[in-house]
């Protein structure tokens, strides 16, 4: 063995290992994600070895993004996990860790990917309020406004059910996440909601500017300018709620869940008129 190899072998003896660990511990910083091994589960925190000279502490409230009933079932001794370093302070010898933040980062990464790919996902409905439903996805809470439900969902209790949705909007810094059942439903039934298709709908409400019409559980607008008749009367004198009418789909906004109808160019409309 060469003299240089002997020198290296002597330098990395067990006696000097602790000193070397201290020397290179600058590699750990607050904000890093590191692997660690759980070696103790105590009343208020979990003890973790991340390879530093001091013990890492995982507070129970940082153990998961989800609610934990029994920490011993969620985490086990000698289990290796990823941890986010909340605090690494060499002066006070404090190392505070989080699994919750790792899960949060992964959840938002999935949100960004799903939104970019424009795909349908499944969420769990957990609460309702006047404006709609609060849902959960990977530990994140989001909201489905009433305007983005489909017709029968306004009358159903969806709590504790899983539903298919698309992401409308999100803001990671503000923890804001908005979903749409309508957009997912339209995408799933693209053949029904195809531009140019003539379908039968039911008048839901009458406004001065047009009719809201339900077609296959989706409500869309038949604007007054798209009604075939030469109107000499108010719409309420020609149509009534619950009336079946024929309409043509002329516009579908799959990103916002909006549909527009027309009656122009549909033959034999007299059979569906009041």
The class level of CATH for 118-187 reads mainly beta
- Distance, CA of 17 to CA of 142 (rounded, Å): 49
Arithmetic mean of pLDDT, 111-127:
94
Question: Is the confidence at residue 96, as pLDDT, over 70?
Answer: yes
Residue 79 is predicted with a pLDDT of: 93
How many angstroms from the chain centroid is the CA of residue 271?
Answer: 45
Classify domain 190-272 by CATH number.
2.40.50.140
User: Element (H or E) spanning 117, and its range?
Assistant: helix 100-117
Residue 273 is predicted with a pLDDT of: 44
Would you give the end-to-end CA distance of the chain in angstroms? 102
- Mean pLDDT in the chain? 85
Q: Which CATH architecture has domain 3-101?
A: Beta Barrel (2.40)
Give start-end residues of each CATH 2.40.50.140 domain in the chain: 3-101, 118-187, 190-272
Arithmetic mean of pLDDT, 150-166:
81
| Residue 30: other Cβ atoms inside 10 A | 12
pTM (predicted TM-score): 0.76
Residue 9 pLDDT class (50, 70, 90 cuts)? very low
């Amino acid at each position: 063995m060469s003299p240089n190899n002997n020198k290296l072998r002597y330098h990395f003896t067990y006696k000097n290992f602790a000193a070397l660990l201290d020397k290179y511990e600058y590699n750990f910083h607050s904000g890093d994600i590191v692997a660690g091994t759980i070696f103790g589960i105590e009343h208020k925190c979990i003890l973790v070895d991340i390879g530093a000279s001091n013990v890492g502490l995982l507070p129970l409230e940082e153990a998961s993004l989800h609610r934990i009933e029994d920490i011993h079932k969620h985490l086990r001794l000698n289990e290796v996990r990823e941890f986010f370093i909340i605090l690494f302070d060499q002066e006070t010898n404090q190392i505070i860790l989080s699994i919750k933040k790792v899960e949060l980062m992964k959840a938002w990464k999935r949100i960004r990917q799903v939104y970019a790919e424009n795909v349908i996902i499944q969420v769990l409905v957990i609460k309702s309020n006047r404006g709609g439903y609060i849902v959960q996805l990977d530990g994140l809470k989001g909201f489905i406004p009433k305007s983005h439900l489909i017709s029968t969902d306004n009358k159903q209790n969806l709590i504790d059910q899983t539903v298919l949705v698309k992401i409308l909007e999100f803001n990671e810094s503000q923890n804001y996440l908005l979903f749409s059942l309508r957009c997912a439903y339209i995408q799933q039934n693209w053949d029904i909601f195809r531009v140019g298709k003539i379908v039968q709908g039911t008048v839901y409400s009458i406004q001065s500017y047009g009719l809201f019409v339900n077609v296959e559980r989706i409500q869309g607008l038949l604007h007054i300018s798209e009604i075939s008749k030469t109107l000499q009367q108010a719409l309420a004198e020609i149509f009534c709620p619950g009336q079946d009418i024929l309409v043509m789909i002329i516009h579908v906004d799959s990103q916002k869940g909006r549909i527009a109808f027309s009656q122009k160019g549909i033959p034999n409309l007299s059979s569906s008129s009041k």
